[in-house]
Amino acid sequence: MSMNISKEDIFSFELKNGIRVVHLQHARPVAYSGILINAGSRDEEGFKTGVAHFLEHMMFKGTKKRKTHHILSRIDEVGGELNAYTAKENTFIYTTFLDQYIDRAFDIMEDITFHSIFPVKEIEKERAVIIDEFQSYKDDPAEEMGDQFDSLMFAGHTLGNNILGSVESVQSIVQKDLKQFVSKKYHTDKMVLCYIGPTSKEKFKIKAEKYFSGVRSNLSRQERLAYSGYDPFVLEIEKEMYSSHCLIGNVGYGLRNKKRTPFALLNNILGGPGLNSRLNMNIREKYGFTYYLDANYTPFEESAQWAIYLSTDVKNLDRTISLVYKELKKLREQTFSSLQLDKAKKQIMGQMALANENTSGMLHVIAKSFLLFNRIDSLPELYKQLEKITATQLRDIANEMFDEKKLSRLVYRSKIS
């Protein structure tokens, strides 16, 4: 199924409690649906860190009318999937199912999102699970390093919070914390119910109203605390590990910034998923110094994290880092030719089209776009934005983002030679 959607393909409306509802019809028998809630780890000011993630786990542990095994079996027993995840800025409860079970899917999503009771016994069991999850991440240097990089880059702000929290904070979370987070952060006017499936928009509207219009209104009363005050840092730590790791990065353009799309193109040229990225071709392929080497851009509402990650043998670490800075300098000083720019645009357009073939991924894209902008841009509209980008624009952004005085660096250097 092609996901090259237009505005005409999208049907949306708002329930009386403020929940926005979005429908996209397709012909396949499998449906995808989810509730995106504009509450994540960055919303934990005044709360124990990790409470948003703990809450997501506890949604599956009992409601007013269901015990854990009823929740876990409700979709699985008809061959579907019910899951959830927590991010910095949102929580997503989603399900995939044969469309004949749409009532079952909507009923269970509404129940666990709005009627979870967080049984004390289940909290104690899940606490151990989350601490184990936390410890397992520490076995992965890239994960541990990413969390530390965030905490340093967004020091003093909840964007720097580890999504899982800390062992100490997780050990201290109690039922009251979960209930208070729901009450203060789960705002109905900051939620989107999204559906992609074969049910017609008329029947879908009836079902969405049946299961979600009765949810009690809980409107937001304040905006998020914006991040400011980035202070570049350089930190090197010796570790008992065979490989060495490095992150080089900067804060970036948020989701509402007009420079977001040009920078996404520039980042794709530098270290995107294509094997022909600058970092891959000029460092990994040319010298064979590193296996993992890429650049990632993660925009938030008003800020972003941009970082290059690499891992290599300790003897090649300093040389690899210097080569990365060399590539960044080239982008600051050299202007792309019209042919280079055209190729780069065609590449990212192709990547976007392929990404739109992933229906579950598209579900989240649509929900997030409506959550932030109350609309979705079609591929042709996104292509028009890309076509307008100039080589001068990219060079100016490179000078802004890749200025060495603004770059932070975190290194895990291997002690084992």
Its pTM stands at 0.94
**Domain segments of the chain as ranges:** 10-212, 234-414
Domains 10-212 and 234-414 share a fold: yes
How far apart CA 92 and CA 116 sit, in angstroms, is 15
Kindly indicate whether the domain formed by 234-414 is annotated with CATH number 3.40.50.300. no
CATH number for the segment(s) 10-212: 3.30.830.10
Residue listed under structure tokens 């460092």: 283
pLDDT, tens digit, 9 for 90 and up, residues 37-68: 999 999 999 999 999 999 999 999 999 999 99
Q: Which residues contact 67 (CB under 8 A, 6 or more apart)?
A: none
DSSP 79: T
Mean pLDDT to the nearest integer, 266-282: 96
Residue 356, pLDDT score: 87
Among 278, 279, 283, smallest CA distance to 336 is for 278
Residue 347 has pLDDT above 50, yes or no: yes
Mean of pLDDT values over 207-214: 98
Q: Is the Cβ–Cβ distance between 56 and 185 less than 8 Å?
A: no
Helix, strand or coil, per DSSP, at residue 241: coil
Question: Could you report the per-residue pLDDT of 107-123, keeping only the tens digit for each?
Answer: 999 999 999 999 999 99
Contact 363, 192 (CB under 8 A): no
Measured in whole angstroms, the distance separating CA 121 from the mean position of its chain's CA atoms is: 31
Angle at the Cα of 313 (from 307 to 316), degrees rounded to 5? Answer: 80
For residue 139, what pLDDT band results from cuts at 50, 70 and 90?
confident
In tens, the pLDDT along 73-86 reads 999 999 999 999 99
**For residues 254-272, average pLDDT:** 97
How far is Cα 31 from Cα 335, in angstroms, rounded to an integer?
Answer: 46
